[in-house]
Structure 1
């Protein structure tokens, strides 16, 4: 076997990962052997040839559905890795790059080795690399620095995961490529999670009219990325599954498709349908043949299930059963430690969940309550990460439309050439690669319910006129069709942009703006809210499943002093990491916080605190002084915001002025 070559120079540019497992070393060695057998040379110059523009367009059309599912998650993934010297790449099953997002400087550098749309990154073309090797092995792969077969690619570290359909067929590869000096062990985990989210969306799309079973050994994991999902036909046969299901059931996709709900779970499909016809039905407890226990919920639409010829249930009037909250929809809900309100009004207010003691949020909730079910469009303003989608979901939950769909569209994350088909739908044959029988589009999917247009300020100007026409005429014409479909939707839109300035600049239509802004509410940034510690505790309870986890005083002071440019989403990421790092300990200390956050927080502190590397007393004093400044000197207001007593503030201020505390 050929020995795996080491890096050319430098301790960080090591040809092996910081922790290289034997199976990883074996996979790289085998890949190098394949490259040598193909006649590649390690000193080959990067091949800059790309497919012609027409061929790339055709490849994108063939993979339109993959692109639609992946594009929003690629943006989220890029935000999660928070590194300027990196990019996120999507390829098809042959290794051709379909789409990439990243920092402009690094995208330009990567293009020098043809890591750009239109280039092929199979092993036969580019030697050992994460994309090509993941395609060969159909397994998540990291290729670090000198592990690349071709020396010119050695400045990269790439983490890739294959994307499979519910029957195990390879759809493409999701990859994060970056400067090898910035390699992080967690990157592959984030890529794998994102690939699983794409696969789960694909499965739900494939079987949206069928029965889907969501399960896990622990009931609280249902509705998370760790849940298993299987699709079932009306006879009870299992048709497809996500990876988590196969892992939990200890079987291959082919073996699973030979089973039925009765043979695998010991329960007939009719009994499952009967049980879950009530929207408040508890999870079913299933016993596997090997004695293990699973907890399961079902997701299906009763009218669609009946249309498939499924067995009739024996209960009363049929109800639509809502699936567990999708990962993308519950992103912010998880961030604030709350479950996003499920479809189907349970009698508990969704807006109530947003009331955590902040006066500004109380005012927002009060305004929204007054216009519920009044056919008034709502425009939500706020910085990224402030919870605009959660507010939209809460509005839907508390409205008379709560049993109908809530459909969210992120206008910023969908490529401009795809947003029209995504919004308005298309007919069979509208373009090459279009799904047989067409697709309804998000607006039609929201019929009877709520349409949430997130980042509406990023919608292309050419489509704004068509959206306005749809909202005014209440009908939509899919691409390639001459037939208009009636639509009845409540509209909630959101943006972090200044739409008035965009109107003045001619980049946003004034008439659309007036159609969307029936009521305008602004969500405050986290740094402007008085309920930071309440939100912190909610996040920690969610992350630890209720297990008590306290903050050391120094950590609490750091959190309160920081300005939170990423708002609640950033806070959730910091606390999620800290909770994991704390393990079984009862208190989060400074050592449990990530280095990058500590550096940012340290720089954000006043000089009095930064000069001493942020001793506990300095941090507390700086935090109190900032709170007092923001409260206009009102000690009672500052004490409420910080969650401490007025006497504590007096005591700390005396200490800061040189008096003993």
Structure 2
């Protein structure tokens, strides 16, 4: 147990060597390199309420699992002049609870929600040093770098998610005179509870083994839990499992169920089914025998109607079945060489499985739903439903019942037995709200409540149904401008905008050739005869000049039409393209030329087109054929529309 001298005014340099442990000494040295001084005042730069709400939403799953544990811990330390603090992985305080009197004292040194307690901001302290060291840390009294914080005693434990990544810190802080040696033990136990809850919800539809060498420890914090796929691929293990197996999480990733427990997935499942509820006896890789419980929660299976019903789930609650099939979108499929798209994919990969809402912006037709589907397919929720709702396509009078569902007789025309809303259909999976900017303002309040409380109240029902969904939203509108106009709720915007990414329009992408190749492969599969599809150079040049106002939607429709018109040789040529598309491209080229040639005001389109033709012919040295290919028109069109141009030159 640490000594407790009253030395709040003594600088670190004069503290006894035994008082500064090697870990604390290194932290003090880091604090000095950050340019901090022991006499400086604490960092009082606290986030605004809106920014704090956004940070809490980004760490929502951590907060959800930590909240009940923090309440239980508070009951154990009540009336001890203490508080409990939860931070994110960067040291930002998300929540704090405790004795009212001590909370007020703590606020004087910015120990409150919205403040950042990383070492670089506050010097040596348990929260910041636990993050820097990635291990449980006690910083007591004079060990704090800032003199202003030396009335505190703090015990902090890092919280890791099931993938081994730092999610946050749980800290118990009190008056230095109230220090107790058991405080750290309570904090560690609390973090184990949080991590185990985190683990069980993340791998709820997997093969899980709970084990310990002493059977009486099963069902307690001491049990190890390891998760595998049904074919035995290792997914993750909690802290106790890592200790018992003698490997870190990184080391365990090289193993399988067979190499760790000596059984295949199917053998273990069969053994569990024939055990009649009794504990299993398994052998670890080191030969040690353990008692174990095995749980295998299969993903929901589709019924004959293309919907899924989970075991024990009321038959009325059915959800669209969406499983990853060959050819379905994955994030790796979206990377075709464009740097902008690669940057988007890199960003979203970092938040997959972390319950951070995603807002996708971009013009209509840029592939927002395709990105959302790919994220879902690469996420831990991939075996659960992906439900897409276009808020702009549903009549305003129906969107509420579509989203939230309704009970029988909730309104005139309601179906018998009611209907399950789209939010509940997405339970366990991903809800994609396309064109969220078109959601009626009154419904935005209801959606906000669902996102905050994860509870759905169907129309005409007094029931509150819990829902577990990942949220992805998309819009082509400027939501900030809509907020300024009073057409979109600011609080909802911050709930949805955990990470915002923008998809570039097709005309600004550098991978058009790869995109065309991908579409050709898909359309070629639909051909019953003839060669695989290809595109002529003239058409490629034409595509490169198009502005593509409809983006991928326009290109996809065009390719399907051209594929239907193509001959046996499979080559898509200019004559296979719709006339309106050719006219639009020609008009676009003419407009571009008109801006360069600055024709007289009021010039008619025909005159502008003629100017564009003349410019193209001149650009290609008088070669009419080359000019025609560049413009995407026939040579006859050039001959017909070209103004007098004595330098036209050869056709060849």
TM-score by length of 2: 0.46
Q: Which has the larger radius of gyration?
A: 2
